[in-house]
Structure 1
Amino acid sequence: MMFLVVFSVLTVCVTAEDLESGVLRLKDVPAAEAFIDSAEVAVIGFFETEAARGYQEFLAAAKQMKALSVALCSEKEVWAKYGIASDTISVFRKADLHQEHLNLSEAKKVDADGLVRFMTMNNVRYVTEYNQASAVGLFQSEVKTHVLLLADRGRADSDPLQQRFRDLAPKYTGKMLFVLVNGSEKSNARVLEYFGLESRDLPRIGIYDGALDKKWLMPSAEITTERVQTFCDSFLAGELQKQKEAETPEDKTEL
């Protein structure tokens, strides 16, 4: 029922102009709220007019970011709701309850490629796949604790494991970011090395505290939802940190 309500609110805001640009236009606060609530990551281009700086570049970037929910809004009532004072591109994320705003009047350069990078870096989801671009958004987030599933995506047993990981992630909204690290990617070898792992050791679950630059590795055994949840809860309760303090201090290593 809720899906039908959200769908109907969004549908009534679509005009012939929207179909031409391929981007939804939000006409009021309820439509904006429904749009933001409908996706893990929602992007809204707040432009006063189509002649505004960055408008055409935003449309070009939106065409390249088909996996993202993107909309336009020129209604000042909606602007006031989200604290928008001038032409701005905003990213709304559920995983860390974060809003990232790009004020176009303050940007030195505005082009489609740059806006694609902005959207890509800030595309932090309930489960974000680790790569060079997503790492920027992950480490800039105010949520500094990352729960990592280090897995070889080429293995047959990885898909159900990833699904269990995804199902658990929303329980820790605003507290922990869940990150998938593809161990078969050569570019991720340094992450495995940081946790003292090799490809043959996967899959494993780890926690990284970016504020303290410390790591914890869940003991090797079957990775079940219950074990991962206990591992996460132990960190949030401070139990893993107490265990770490009792261990021999280790050299600080940059991830």
Structure 2
Amino acid sequence: MCLFLLFSLLATCCFAEDKVSTDSALPRLANVAAAEAFIDSAEVVIIGFFKTDEGHGYKEFLAAVEEMKTLPAALCSVKEVWANYSIESDTIALFRKADKHQENLLLEKIKKLDTDGLVRFFTINNIRYITEYNQASAVGLFQSEVKVHLLLFANRGSADYKPLQEKLAALAPHYTGKMLFVLINGKVKSNERALGYFNLKPGDLPRVGIYDADSDKTFLLPEGEISTERVQNFCDSFISGELQKEKESEENKKKSEL
């Protein structure tokens, strides 16, 4: 009997240590200032707003966060912080800088909640200053309130792929809330449709374009060096409306020639 109690005690201690080690890996936000600092610490962060550690979805949240190690995550049970972010019930919230967006997942509305579902939620909404286009990110990109996309078409593995990606990622914060910067790998077969929309082929890359989802119109930066200055002027001309006027003038000219 004593031996059984000893084993039970050891098992309980081990479980408690595992739980503490899992939970302690995540910071607990004690006030609004701490929450603001955490949200500002990365391009995309996740906060689990749970009243208690026994809340619906809590264990699944920890497991999903463990799987998505690239996304900083934290926990918060402080009502003052909840009110600051309009949280009223247990919620998993994702905050991102690229479009100044807070995406809330209200847990009380989800009857069947699993780790895979949360990982998908994180993946879809992982929109950064420059986001690589794929089936998952496409959902988040088109769900965003920012409907203008600056597209970098480049072939992964080429000498200019990484430098161009870094160059545009550095430029993207200047257009927060106005444009989402998207990287499209020309070597991926499923991206051929996106290239074709701009009348491009993998051999034409790298190129830069703008897609306006509201008007469903495309604009292509003329061939030449993809410098920060040229891309910035390209973006500014769209925002000012100059690029749209030029395209409309070209379209009208073509119509008159028919």
Task: Give the corresponding residue for 2:28.
Answer: 25
SS of 2:22's equivalent?
A: helix
CA separation of 1:18/1:177 partners in 2, compared to 1, >3 Å: closer, same or farther? farther
SS of 1:95's equivalent?
A: coil
Task: Give the corresponding residue for 2:208.
Answer: 205
Quick check: 1:135 aligned with 2:166?
no
Q: Of 124, 132, 135, which aligns to 1:121?
A: 124
Matches within 5 A, 1:220-231: 220-231=223-234
Task: Give the corresponding residue for 1:161.
Answer: 164
Residues 130 and 165 in structure 2, CA contact (< 8 A), matched pair in contact too: no
Residues 22 and 62 in structure 2, CA contact (< 8 A), matched pair in contact too: no
Q: In structure 2, list runs of 5 or more residues that go unmatched.
A: 1-17, 253-258
Identity, % of aligned positions = 64
| Distance in 2 of aligned mates of 1:109 and 1:238 | 47
Amino acid across the alignment from 1:188? N
| Distance in 1 of aligned mates of 2:75 and 2:192 | 40
Matches within 5 A, 1:27-42: 27-42=30-45
* 1:120-172 CA distance string (max 9 Å, x none): 11111111110000011100000000000000011012221221111101110
* 1:34-72 CA distance string (max 9 Å, x none): 100101011101000111110000001001111101111
Report the aligned-residue RMSD: 1.4
| Distance in 2 of aligned mates of 1:163 and 1:85 | 39
Residues 153 and 185 in structure 2, CA contact (< 8 A), matched pair in contact too: yes
| Distance in 1 of aligned mates of 2:19 and 2:158 | 46
Task: Give the corresponding residue for 1:101.
Answer: 104
Residues 150 and 203 in structure 1, CA contact (< 8 A), matched pair in contact too: yes
Deviation at 1:84, TM superposition (A): 0.4
* 1:4-51 CA distance string (max 9 Å, x none): xxxxxxxxxxxx976432322112111111100101011101000111
TM, length-normalised to structure 2: 0.88
Task: Give the corresponding residue for 1:89.
Answer: 92
Q: In structure 1, list runs of 5 or more residues that go unmatched.
A: 1-15, 250-255
Amino acid across the alignment from 2:40? D
Deviation at 1:247, TM superposition (A): 2.8
| Distance in 1 of aligned mates of 2:239 and 2:111 | 41
| Distance in 1 of aligned mates of 2:83 and 2:186 | 44
Task: Give the corresponding residue for 2:187.
Answer: 184
